[in-house]
Chain A
């Protein structure tokens, strides 16, 4: 009866990208294309020590031997890697000591995005490492944090000021040989965050980073490294917005996390990159390698992500559960609308004994999008008494979108338990009508239903993010995001 009348849903999922603007800041660009000179240029601009340049060159040379993988359930138009600018930096007039000295245009950008560094510093106590187009502008709160011995600075600063830590851990979890994009990132990474929490220290504030891609044809190649020493704890939030562009922008980041004995890192992401317009033109390519290793016993790494943007999302935040009794968690809400595509999930590799992993994945598809969950649970022979629980749910809005699940389970011992559940559902016209008949309009109804569906994941987010995430879910489906 109602199936040929999808007017309610059609009219609903369409609209404008809310964050479509870009600021006119003077930027400096590397010459377009990628060769050894580009790599040297980047390293020189950043005034890096020799070891870093050598690492980059090794990675670049290795990248030349690799081909882009073709196995994902994604349609990716051919990328011309020579037609990308690999470095863009806002012209620094002088060293930035305080917020007063920050380029006022930059501050205005932050304000437009609803991120006021000023406000944050005064009210919420959240440290912010603001990255605009490949260069960290300001690291707030480093003085406060250093009191605890916590290092939280831009990756570029860490390379200069904490080379030993960088040398020790960078590439140990995601080597440049790992995959095509990690090799590329290792060669041309621009900047990102570095965080070290010393033994026994519980970081008192949520650490956070805001990104923004500003210049045309500029790839963002963030590199982040978080190290939690024995007994340490940190909660790290990553949130992004990006302006409206016509050209596709490549975002190939690498995030590495290490937890020692009894340590815990909670990594939360709310991603709202430009997803392309209603017709699938433009949009960010988000090809990210994120991986954590629970090196020490009893350690824990928890990934929580709310992905609503990007034209194509391709990422598998993963955990290597090496230490005995270590715990890995993956909570994800991935939304695709219009012509967006996502192939995302996680890999949980159980190496240690009594290790536990939890996977809760909520996919939401709308428009003509395609949303895939891809997950690997691998329990090796020595990982006795291990447990995994996976729940992969898909929600379809309308009848022109797709939801797919590719779960892989490999168990190599008999004492472990792996549980997997999956559901597929849709918001029916009947459900929407029921809400409308109670006085709730379509917009609110979809928001209500979708947030109810994603509740289990959203409640994992730090409070600061949870509200933004709820609104974001509603907005991304009501169509403000393309």
Chain B
């Protein structure tokens, strides 16, 4: 059992967004979270990774049986949780290489490993770049600076490949992507799937799930998971729309 969320309530500035989420992700599983806008999908992702603008008012999050809520953002990251941001920020002047090297070595330090030598690191960079079809130009630039939407998303997957997380949360990774970019990103994700890691894929549209085939689909509506099913649930949603869900409640 990788991730277990029990009766999670979270609010921001006194307004409750998550109203009792229950979710279990096991090793090797891909869970898709769908739902209309403003329903709490990104909030859920933010709370899992530890963004402190949200207050957890009730409930638990266990990660590998550890109480995640007591860990800081960087500790959660070092434990192996990765978030693919919906809107990745730019960090001018900081090269992707330098950024990744710092991150990789921090995580290694946390796990009691020595930092990677420059040679080893560059070799790893080359391998992972191929995975996401990134050319050198991109990695010599500053983090996300001047990147198109598609380039930013590919950079997120590249970072995921470099950091090798055990739980990856992809927050609307497909937003702003055209079909080709979507395929590249999805391919990257699929190549990173192992029997040991888990994925939570947050998306609006069915389309991404044609490429990243989920084991479970959950519908998040007004702060609760109101329906869960297999991959066919996504197809049903696509066909019938979210109103169908509202009617069922």
Contacts and interface: CB of A to CB of B under 8 A. Distances in A.
Given A5-B52, A444-B102, A437 B77 contact: yes
A444 B107 CA distance: 13
B49 A437 contact: yes
A452 B163 contact: no
A438 B107 CA distance: 9
Nearest to A438: B103
B62 interface: no
B106 interface: yes
B103 to A, nearest CB: 4
Interface string B78-109: 10001101001111111100110011001100
Interface in A432-456: 433-442, 444, 448-449, 451-455
Interface residue SS majority, chain A: helix
A455 B92 CA distance: 11
Nearest to A436: B73
A434 B12 contact: no
A433 B106 contact: no
A454 B78 CA distance: 28
A433 B51 contact: yes
Given A438-B163, A449-B93, A1 B107 contact: no
A431 B85 CA distance: 12
A2 interface: yes
B192 interface: no
B126 interface: no
B110 interface: yes
A438 B88 CA distance: 12
B74 interface: yes
Contact of B91 (A2, A5, A431): A431
Contact of A449 (B12, B88, B91, B107): B91
Nearest to B75: A439
A430 to B, nearest CB: 5
A35 interface: no
Contacts of B94: 448-449, 452
A436 B91 contact: no
Contacts of A439: 74, 77-78, 103, 106-107, 110, 163
Interface in B185-221: none
Interface in A442-477: 442, 444, 448-449, 451-455
Contacts of B228: none
Q: How large is the interface on B (under 10, 10 to 19, 20 to 34, 35 or more residues)?
A: 20 to 34
A354 to B, nearest CB: 32
Interface residue SS majority, chain B: mixed
A430 B92 contact: no
B92 A452 contact: yes
Given A436-B74, A438-B77, A441-B74, A2 B102 contact: no
Interface in A373-422: none
Nearest to B102: A440
Given A1-B12, A436-B77, A438-B77, A452 B93 contact: yes
Contact of A455 (B51, B93, B106, B163): B93
Interface in A1-38: 1-2, 5, 7
Contacts of B1: none
A425 interface: yes
Nearest to A3: B53
Nearest to B109: A439
A448 B99 contact: yes
Interface in A334-350: none
Contacts of B103: 435, 438-440
B175 interface: no
Contacts of A480: none
Contacts of A177: none
B142 interface: yes
A431 B89 contact: yes
Contact of B52 (A7, A437, A444, A455): A7
B159 to A, nearest CB: 7
A434 B91 contact: yes
A358 interface: no
9 contacts: A1-B12, A2-B53, A431-B89, A437-B74, A437-B83, A438-B77, A439-B163, A441-B74, A448-B102
Interface of B: 12, 49, 51-53, 72-74, 77-78, 82-83, 85, 88-95, 98-99, 102-103, 106-107, 110, 142, 159, 163
Given A439-B77, A451-B93, 8 more contacts: A1-B12, A7-B52, A431-B91, A435-B91, A435-B103, A436-B74, A439-B103, A448-B102
Interface of A: 1-2, 5, 7, 425, 428, 430-431, 433-442, 444, 448-449, 451-455
